[in-house]
Structure 1
């Protein structure tokens, strides 16, 4: 930091947080687990083609990255994937199975030699996929979810629970895979087996519901030869979402249900008696975007490690006898839905507004928590990080809107006193999701240059109960657009932001909200639209993948009953309403929001003389993972704002805007 504060216009501040730095720190550790005494997890490698690897931290504190490139530990089941690996110790050595992204086969890894395939290559393109493995070494099997494509269409698919032999006999022969269930349900999670091995529990749901709308908790008796007897539903339903289930050491069935309007924990004892373990107006669960998410993990001593909170998440230990929760002391204000336990040890992944996600271990006996992996290391002086504010705004009819506001911030540069800063509203994806309050160098990239950011957890977002989520039912493209606009205008009205220099950006569902905002409001001077939905009718009638193929039935309404609503709300049908400059960014391998959505939209924009740019990326899918892609995205986005707002950021390549 210099000795002297310079006065320079917003958007022209020089920052050490460049696009390459932000890209190198994109993504975070996921899917923690114990293999014996050692903690394992997956970690991103943005500079290695965006792959994910397995990391092992030994009990002595040494760490090693396993599986060199091009191995990529990531499942494509329901396209968003989920728990891609499992491990145990056999004969004193780790035995690990994992899914490899490229071929989606399940592999066995014994930490020596090359991994060996356990499942066959699919005769239908990408048509055999596996997720949420549970090792059953007593049976020499791994139990998991199989997603099998039965035809060429994205919804020609079945999902069942299966047992894959660990001896490799199914590597060339799918008939050696033993099916544990039939395909009566469209979607299932991996089985959790009771301590005595006699029962298995899993979640199931069916179209048109998403897992946060309504799921069933299914239990089956398991015979001595590993066969599932007649499954029965013990909880859940069309309007009750079960987010996770597991077994306590004493055989109690634990699960997280939102039947009260909040995901809370319940236990069903051996006698069939059920009780709430901690009734609170906060979440002990969340949206199941990835199969195998864990918001709770039972300990051997009867207590339960929990990721819980309202609008944010803490790591705590719940005593089910007293309903008391003791939260972990430390700097972390947000924990992701992954947990592993071993004896008195709990491992999770936590972050804060000053630190990115890191692997955290809690000693339940002492209450001490410390970082054991992916440790946050400030790549620049943290005085360049933004200082966020947790805000609640009010929208139409006085409804509350939750947001995080990141004002422009630089340790030794300020703007002239009479200048108001430009602001970009960030609309998160999902839309049934939320923006966590954690250090994100992509946000710091803008705030350290003098551009404010406001992340809006609009109506429909998670973390604030089911009623807040349900605000978006049949209102997508209305409530999300109104809430983002209300926050942007409130910031302008209170003198925080420049009314003439507001922008909006978002990816996936946030790309939809961005495009819909440009088409239906005059709030924004420009917008950045990443891998969006733009044409509801096509997306809702076969253009996307199976998992979300009927999502719009609740977000917009039944297509068969309200087809006009799909047309009326689609930005691609109303290109004539868009007059603000925009940047459109798309992965060419995206099967969730395919490039055809962008192409049709751009065809409608032809001849409109609206400045815009379209950049399509080879080898990128839904959500960008490669460092070079992310660099181009950030620099292009900043150039758009520079042109729309009249800024002068130093050293940024100029984005050519076509008309």
Structure 2
């Protein structure tokens, strides 16, 4: 029998521990011979990243046990952390020391052997975006060298790492140091050329990059670079060799990331012009939105949908697969395509699609406990209208619980979820954190505000100079529309987000009167501090484009920062922060909390030891969700079942 109880008080079998168990799914899928490889976070093992291999119909095999952590710090967000070679052998980066290791799996008792030297300072040398050029004697990648005490004291280059370690690490050979930021070089089939992508401050990789090529001489030296595509207002985001004389590249000279064939002579052809995105933002080096199949066809991601691009016909055809949303990177070999896919009621899983047979097999399964569809909200794709008349896409996740209903006439509380980036997006798939709330009677709406990717450059650049304005207004418009149409209780609206989403959460609470409260995970709170040495090199000049150049726009930085508007807070705020965060450092939260002390405004601050940017440990994720639920209950006026009461300060 369905029980009648107020929204927010519904009993749910989805515990915080179960939600935390799927906090990090499979990633970095690769294909080698007939085997699939992937990395996967292990929340129950301190959040380390493990490496797996497997075949269809067989249980996955763990390649590296604890304490190995297949992850790296390049750009702080990390790059592709492994590459598989014949043998099989696997070369990978290890988080603890940031060194590159070789593991030969041909023997039963193989142990990883270091290929790179131990840095003189902890994490002083970092490597990422590993690729294997022809020949099998080296691995190429991006190297970061820390050159001083400031977060921006970093030098990057493309390097070759010999695989013959001998009695110790061999000499790492520098190939190219053309830009402040680079992707790993791709080697032509004949070994005579390399191609890579580079860019410099203040551009971000979705603003403007350069696709470069250079000759590789017989002694391994690299010649002068030539720029084939890109520029200040064109962002190349992926390159692969088509043959010895041309490359495939995703770039956006017409405002949409499309796939081009570009010759070494500079000729270029859009293989299938379309007003849709086939690429995405290079937050992590090694992202792959397309994969050549070798017969004039390429697997592509069209705004997250798996499709087949036929170069000869100039067509793009969606593929019929059981899970609709695929994420980068794609991998392909012959007629086989592999990647991580998910759906509205399905967590991310490794899928293998054979175009020759049509068989699509799921290779991995999420932990049990979150697979009963009766408890999973089916997100509704909506398009709202922003204050400037622009469309604002969003996904509405309604309260969903088969055992409970609310009293007649009661409207549910709703939480607006703001994605990070801010150059990111929400795809409308199953989210364990959303389900934790919706199963208890709290609705969630996830907003792709102006600046989100997936809608072309014009939509992305709505945020230029307008961060803290467009994102705030778009989210407020969605929340207000849900309230006006009777979907959400206008008196019980909240907002949440992490990183840039944490910024929008705090900026919203200090500038609009829409929300009763908000939860900000590892947020940016002080723009001047963040632009003056409090963040890492990759984003250290990001604000130039989305806020303005300093010192000309200093007042704008001050006016928009939540840290200067604490007295304007519309309601209580909960701050959650990792104490090892190099991107949004804890000092920002600490200063903000000090300002709140004695203000009379309810607030909470939960710092977590051993966490960086984005929580990875199961116990951290579980504690955060329980604290957030208790926080909403105290502020929005309901008593959630089964969670400890979070103590709030004033």
- Shared fold (TM-score greater than 0.5)? yes
Residue pair 2:414, 2:489 contacting (<8 A) in 1 also: yes
Residue pair 1:532, 1:593 contacting (<8 A) in 2 also: yes
Secondary structure (helix, strand or coil) at the match of 2:158 reads strand
Residue pair 2:85, 2:136 contacting (<8 A) in 1 also: no
By how many angstroms is 1:140 displaced?
1.5
By how many angstroms is 1:132 displaced?
1.2
More moved, 569-578 vs 31-40:
31-40
1:410 matched to 2:420: no
Decide which of 615, 633, 637 is 1:642's aligned counterpart: 633
1:51 matched to 2:48: yes
* 1:277-426 matched pairs, under 5 angstroms: 277-309=271-303, 313-374=304-365, 379-426=370-417
* Rounded Cα–Cα distance in structure 1 between residues aligned with 2:334 and 2:150: 46
Residue number in structure 2 paired with 1:255: 249
1:22 matched to 2:22: no
Q: Deviations over 1:580-615 (max 9, x none)?
A: 111110000001000100111112112211111101
Residue number in structure 1 paired with 2:270: 276
Secondary structure (helix, strand or coil) at the match of 2:408 reads coil
TM-score for the superposition, normalised by structure 1: 0.96
By how many angstroms is 1:327 displaced?
2.1
* Rounded Cα–Cα distance in structure 2 between residues aligned with 1:234 and 1:531: 39
Q: Deviations over 1:55-91 (max 9, x none)?
A: 00147734201110110101110000111100121xx
By how many angstroms is 1:463 displaced?
0.6
By how many angstroms is 1:351 displaced?
0.5
* Rounded Cα–Cα distance in structure 1 between residues aligned with 2:324 and 2:368: 17
Number of residue pairs the alignment of both structures matches:
647
* Rounded Cα–Cα distance in structure 1 between residues aligned with 2:523 and 2:624: 15
Residue pair 1:36, 1:88 contacting (<8 A) in 2 also: no
Decide which of 513, 516, 524 is 2:504's aligned counterpart: 513
Secondary structure (helix, strand or coil) at the match of 2:349 reads strand
1:35 matched to 2:32: yes
TM-aligned CA distance change 1:270 to 1:206, over 3 Å: closer
By how many angstroms is 1:232 displaced?
0.9
By how many angstroms is 1:377 displaced?
5.6
By how many angstroms is 1:224 displaced?
2.2
Contiguous gaps of at least 5 residues in structure 1: none
Residue pair 2:515, 2:570 contacting (<8 A) in 1 also: no
Residue number in structure 1 paired with 2:565: 574
Residue pair 2:239, 2:250 contacting (<8 A) in 1 also: yes
More moved, 614-623 vs 334-343:
334-343
1:491 matched to 2:477: no
Residue pair 1:120, 1:170 contacting (<8 A) in 2 also: no
Q: Deviations over 1:165-185 (max 9, x none)?
A: 111269556xx1111013x31
* Rounded Cα–Cα distance in structure 2 between residues aligned with 1:230 and 1:554: 30
By how many angstroms is 1:490 displaced?
0.5
Secondary structure (helix, strand or coil) at the match of 1:109 reads strand
More moved, 284-293 vs 215-224:
215-224
By how many angstroms is 1:379 displaced?
3.2
Residue number in structure 1 paired with 2:172: 177
* 1:71-470 matched pairs, under 5 angstroms: 71-89=68-86, 93-111=87-105, 112-136=109-133, 138=135, 140-168=137-165, 171-172=168-169, 176-182=171-177, 184-249=178-243, 251-269=245-263, 272-309=266-303, 313-374=304-365, 379-470=370-461
Residue pair 2:186, 2:194 contacting (<8 A) in 1 also: yes
Residue pair 1:575, 1:604 contacting (<8 A) in 2 also: yes
* Rounded Cα–Cα distance in structure 1 between residues aligned with 2:380 and 2:210: 38
* Rounded Cα–Cα distance in structure 2 between residues aligned with 1:231 and 1:375: 45
By how many angstroms is 1:36 displaced?
2.4
Residue pair 2:188, 2:244 contacting (<8 A) in 1 also: no
TM-aligned CA distance change 1:250 to 1:120, over 3 Å: closer
TM-aligned CA distance change 1:201 to 1:28, over 3 Å: same
* Rounded Cα–Cα distance in structure 1 between residues aligned with 2:498 and 2:388: 28
More moved, 468-477 vs 374-383:
374-383
* Rounded Cα–Cα distance in structure 1 between residues aligned with 2:24 and 2:331: 20
Secondary structure (helix, strand or coil) at the match of 2:278 reads coil
Contiguous gaps of at least 5 residues in structure 2: none
* Rounded Cα–Cα distance in structure 1 between residues aligned with 2:403 and 2:536: 48
* Rounded Cα–Cα distance in structure 2 between residues aligned with 1:302 and 1:294: 18
* Rounded Cα–Cα distance in structure 2 between residues aligned with 1:374 and 1:44: 14
Residue number in structure 2 paired with 1:655: 646
Q: Deviations over 1:388-407 (max 9, x none)?
A: 11010111121111100111
Secondary structure (helix, strand or coil) at the match of 1:514 reads helix
* Rounded Cα–Cα distance in structure 2 between residues aligned with 1:655 and 1:127: 39
TM-score for the superposition, normalised by structure 2: 0.97
* Rounded Cα–Cα distance in structure 2 between residues aligned with 1:367 and 1:327: 13
Decide which of 616, 619, 624 is 1:633's aligned counterpart: 624
Secondary structure (helix, strand or coil) at the match of 1:396 reads coil
